[in-house]
Chain A
Amino acid sequence: MSRSTKALAAVAALTLALAGCANNDDGGSDNDNSSTPELEVQTSIDAPDDAVSPAGDGKAECPATTTLAYIGAETGPNAQLGINILNGIQLAVNEHNEANANCQVKLRKFDTEGDPNKATGPVTQATNDENIIGVIGLPFSGESKATGNIFEQAGLVHITPSATNPLLTTNGWTTFFRGLGNDNVQGPAVPVLAEKLDADKVYVVQDDSDYGIGLATSTTEALGDRLAGSDKVTTGQKDFSATISKILSAKPDAVFYSGYYAEGAPFNQQLVSKGYEGIFIGPDGVKDDQFIQQAGDASGNAYFTCPCVPGELITSFADAYKKVSNGAAPGTYSVEGYDAATVLLAGIDAGNQDRAKLKEWVKSYDAQGLGKALKWDETGELSELPVYGYKVQDGKIVSVGVIE
């Protein structure tokens, strides 16, 4: 061996030995969260008595070709969010069809993978099918934005159970209705939650999706001078070392990740492994069991905001849902999907069996849904907009009630 090679090898071996010894004193430092206030866990929610049921009065009649459609992610990196909604819709349709023998509404599904590029095709397919008179979708903000015009041109009403970008209702679309609070409502809820947890300085990390950018803007504004710093990441990114270094030097009390769980989970996990001991807050796009699975023990520091009702706490809904979902508990936006489908089904039962009439029906709708009161203004936004808080406890996501 040449001398330089020998020297290199010796140095390498020595360093390794030293490092190995250094690593020998183990001892995971306990996660010292004793300073964070405990938020009380919500245990159940009563279903409102006057909630409209998809079964209706059982006497509805409609042509056999009546079809509703779900257009959204069934596969793809964030598919779980779509599947949760689809199951809620399927439950509503099943309840309706069981009760109404003379009105069997079909449900067609179109998969967009949550990708705005792939959404145009399925939406065009759906609008070209004359039998489809109402759509529940699209779940993601980016794809909703990309396809809104097609719905508008076809006069086909669509209620989104989860797309939260506020700009969606500023396009003058008469066919677009949003079944939940948008990010102008969710953004300000983040500082409120942080305050409840005694987190003064918040660091905001946003991804590059429509949803992530919109929500981060809204949150940053609401934080004002409590903002400790901000940084950007991109979807598909795997290693967040650069951002994490910046966070660790800014030393915030809480980190808010504005994006989806596919990146949020590894991000949180890397954050914790580099020694971060504060709180992690994620929005509805991160709130999913997948987050806990992928982030592992690190997810113990996580809290979530979500304009979604914790469906798993409404016992009647949860039990019925499990039959449709092969035993899985209701997930994020399952209730919203269910409510949106109920609105359309109620419209069909009331005799609105073409696109124009169903659109009018939704416009003038004013009744109680399972999750919240449903009444839309001229732009398609709801009036009642609760934002719930959630936290991770014992490896599960539990609700801590509405964030006031």
Chain B
Amino acid sequence: MNQWITFDWEALGANFWSATVDGLTFGGIYALVALGYTLVYGVLNLINFAHSEVFIVGAYAIVFTLTSLGFGPSVPNLAWYAIAANLLLAVIFGMLAAAITAFIVERVAYKPLRAKGAPRLVFLISAIGMSFVIQYLIFVWRGPNPEPSVIMFKNEAIFDIGGTLIYFDSILIVTAAILMMVVVDQFIRRTKLGRGIRAVAQDPDTATLMGVNRERIIISTFVIGGLLAGVAALFYVMKVPSGVLYMGGFLLGIKAFTAAVLGGIGNVRGALLGGLLLGLIGNYGQILLGSAQWTDVVCFVVLIIVLMVRPEGILGSNLGKVRA
């Protein structure tokens, strides 16, 4: 057997459609997290390294809520509307927790630096420091092991297309990603706050001159990013129930950022496109090369290639532009 890299085309062919479905599902999750990265980047020109931790805090809140509502590693014995109500409650708590975390990160790690006019390097280092602090606070509190899995519902196969089963959670996640993108897109275009965000993204000094309160916009962007991360966390817990641990956000965050760059950083539709595309590429790569960890390697390679070849992404980066 080749000891270095093997390409298993046969496995890819045999499992192509289920790989596609899984890829789109994960892609939906990446897209949801990517929305947070892309918004903050568009406004601040800064990669918020701590966004992945904002996301995982949301996931923890969801798990705790569901556990106290009686969910556990076994399929719950409830009617679908009861489950939906519980999930709604959980996602609200998740969004709250994530938004609060995002707010705290902004106040503690970024605002003092902005006031001092610190160089970019310092911002980045501070961001990483915050990311670490949150991760290890969780570690100290909950230990190295993942939280016990929380199963939300019995995952039925809905469609059967030529032997490939498409499960309910896949449909739900991809749909949610599309819906959230639509919601955020409309928000950016129609609401006053959204216009403010676009203005600051386009030209911060002029925006201030035109009466936009920059500080408020920045805080709002972070909070919105947190809310979106909370929604993403719900679907993450749904798809990977054993993945809620202190470092669960880290690799996912990098993949989400890659997705944002791939689609076009600062571009809301780019986040969706980039997410779905990256999910597919990553999953195919995993099957082709034989091990689950190849997903991560493939994603990083994609990032490097995109940054080399077309750094503005597929759809172009343009939070400031009116027309997408």
Q: Which residues of A contact B (CB under 8 A)?
A: 1, 5, 8-9, 12-13, 15-16, 18-20, 22-24, 26, 28, 75-77, 232-234, 237-242, 245-246, 249, 262, 265-266, 269-270, 273-275, 293-298
Cα A275 to Cα B80 in complex, Å, equals 20
- Tell yes or no: B171 within 8 A of A by CB: yes
Which residues of B are found within 8 Å of A269, using beta-carbon distances?
73, 149, 151, 241-242
A5-B182, A9-B179 as given contacts; A19 in contact with B168, CB under 8 Å: yes
CB within 8 Å: A-B pair count: 111
Cα A399 to Cα B292 in complex, Å, equals 34
Among B128-165, those with CB < 8 Å from A are 144-146, 148-149, 151, 153-158
Which residues of A are found within 8 Å of B80, using beta-carbon distances?
20, 23-24, 26
A to B CB contacts below 8 Å, 29 in the list = A8-B182, A12-B175, A12-B179, A18-B158, A19-B168, A23-B156, A26-B79, A26-B80, A26-B154, A28-B75, A76-B144, A234-B292, A238-B242, A241-B18, A265-B242, A266-B242, A269-B73, A269-B151, A269-B241, A269-B242, A273-B155, A274-B155, A293-B73, A293-B148, A294-B73, A296-B148, A296-B151, A297-B73, A297-B74
A293-B73, A297-B74 as given contacts; A23 in contact with B182, CB under 8 Å: no
Which residues of A are found within 8 Å of B68, using beta-carbon distances?
none
Q: Which residue of A lies closest to B178 (CB)?
A: A12
- Tell yes or no: B312 within 8 A of A by CB: no
Does the CB pair A239–B292 fall under 8 Å? yes
Among B171-211, those with CB < 8 Å from A are 171-172, 175, 178-179, 182, 185-186
Cα A77 to Cα B142 in complex, Å, equals 12
Cα A249 to Cα B16 in complex, Å, equals 13
Cα A275 to Cα B18 in complex, Å, equals 15
Which residues of A are found within 8 Å of B73, using beta-carbon distances?
269, 293-298
CB of A118, distance to nearest CB on chain B (Å)? 13
Q: Which residue of A lies closest to B239 (CB)?
A: A239
Which residues of B are found within 8 Å of A20, using beta-carbon distances?
80
Which residues of A are found within 8 Å of B144, using beta-carbon distances?
75-77
A19-B171, A234-B293, A295-B73 as given contacts; A242 in contact with B15, CB under 8 Å: yes
- Tell yes or no: B243 within 8 A of A by CB: yes
Q: Which residue of B lies closest to A208 (CB)?
A: B291
Cα A20 to Cα B79 in complex, Å, equals 12
CB of A124, distance to nearest CB on chain B (Å)? 24
Q: For the A-B complex with A246-B15, A296-B73 known, give 12 more contacts whose Cβ atoms are closer than 8 Å.
A: A1-B186, A5-B182, A9-B179, A23-B80, A233-B292, A238-B248, A239-B292, A262-B145, A269-B241, A269-B242, A294-B242, A296-B149
A23-B153, A273-B151, A273-B155 as given contacts; A239 in contact with B171, CB under 8 Å: no
Which residues of B are found within 8 Å of A75, using beta-carbon distances?
144
Which residues of A are found within 8 Å of B171, using beta-carbon distances?
15-16, 19
- Tell yes or no: B24 within 8 A of A by CB: no
Q: Which residue of B lies closest to A294 (CB)?
A: B148
Which residues of B are found within 8 Å of A234, using beta-carbon distances?
291-293
Interface centre among B15, B290, B292 (most CB of A within 10 A): B292
Cα A328 to Cα B175 in complex, Å, equals 47
Cα A295 to Cα B22 in complex, Å, equals 22
A234-B291, A239-B292, A297-B73 as given contacts; A22 in contact with B156, CB under 8 Å: yes
- Tell yes or no: B72 within 8 A of A by CB: yes
Q: Which residues of B contact A (CB under 8 A)?
A: 11, 14-15, 18-19, 22, 72-75, 79-80, 144-146, 148-149, 151, 153-158, 168, 171-172, 175, 178-179, 182, 185-186, 239-243, 248, 286-287, 290-293
Cα A269 to Cα B150 in complex, Å, equals 11
Which residues of B are found within 8 Å of A28, using beta-carbon distances?
75, 154
Cα A24 to Cα B22 in complex, Å, equals 23
Which residues of B are found within 8 Å of A240, using beta-carbon distances?
292
Does the CB pair B158–A238 fall under 8 Å? no
Does the CB pair A23–B158 fall under 8 Å? yes
Which residues of A are found within 8 Å of B75, using beta-carbon distances?
28, 273, 297
CB of A50, distance to nearest CB on chain B (Å)? 41
Cα A242 to Cα B294 in complex, Å, equals 12
Which residues of A are found within 8 Å of B151, using beta-carbon distances?
269, 273, 296
Which residues of A are found within 8 Å of B292, using beta-carbon distances?
233-234, 237, 239-240, 242
Cα A18 to Cα B159 in complex, Å, equals 11
Cα A237 to Cα B156 in complex, Å, equals 24
Interface centre among A19, A246, A294, A295 (most CB of B within 10 A): A19
CB of A207, distance to nearest CB on chain B (Å)? 11
Which residues of B are found within 8 Å of A249, using beta-carbon distances?
14
Q: Which residue of B lies closest to A244 (CB)?
A: B18
CB of B13, distance to nearest CB on chain A (Å)? 13
CB of B21, distance to nearest CB on chain A (Å)? 9
List 7 tightest A-B contacts by C-beta distance, closest first.
Answer: A296-B73, A266-B242, A297-B74, A238-B243, A296-B74, A12-B175, A19-B171
Which residues of B are found within 8 Å of A77, using beta-carbon distances?
144-145
Cα A246 to Cα B287 in complex, Å, equals 10
Q: Which residue of B lies closest to A267 (CB)?
A: B242
Cα A206 to Cα B103 in complex, Å, equals 43
Cα A269 to Cα B19 in complex, Å, equals 20
Cα A340 to Cα B85 in complex, Å, equals 54
Which residues of B are found within 8 Å of A5, using beta-carbon distances?
182, 185
Q: Which residue of A lies closest to B290 (CB)?
A: A232
Interface centre among A233, A266, A270, A293 (most CB of B within 10 A): A266
CB of B53, distance to nearest CB on chain A (Å)? 17
Interface centre among A8, A23, A298 (most CB of B within 10 A): A23
Does the CB pair B291–A238 fall under 8 Å? no
Cα A15 to Cα B158 in complex, Å, equals 11
Which residues of B are found within 8 Å of A274, using beta-carbon distances?
155
CB of A215, distance to nearest CB on chain B (Å)? 19
Cα A390 to Cα B154 in complex, Å, equals 28
CB of B98, distance to nearest CB on chain A (Å)? 20
Which residues of A are found within 8 Å of B241, using beta-carbon distances?
266, 269
A293-B148, A297-B73 as given contacts; A8 in contact with B158, CB under 8 Å: no
Which one, B79, B148, B158, contacts A22 given CB within 8 A? B158
CB of B227, distance to nearest CB on chain A (Å)? 19
CB of A402, distance to nearest CB on chain B (Å)? 31
Which residues of A are found within 8 Å of B14, using beta-carbon distances?
249
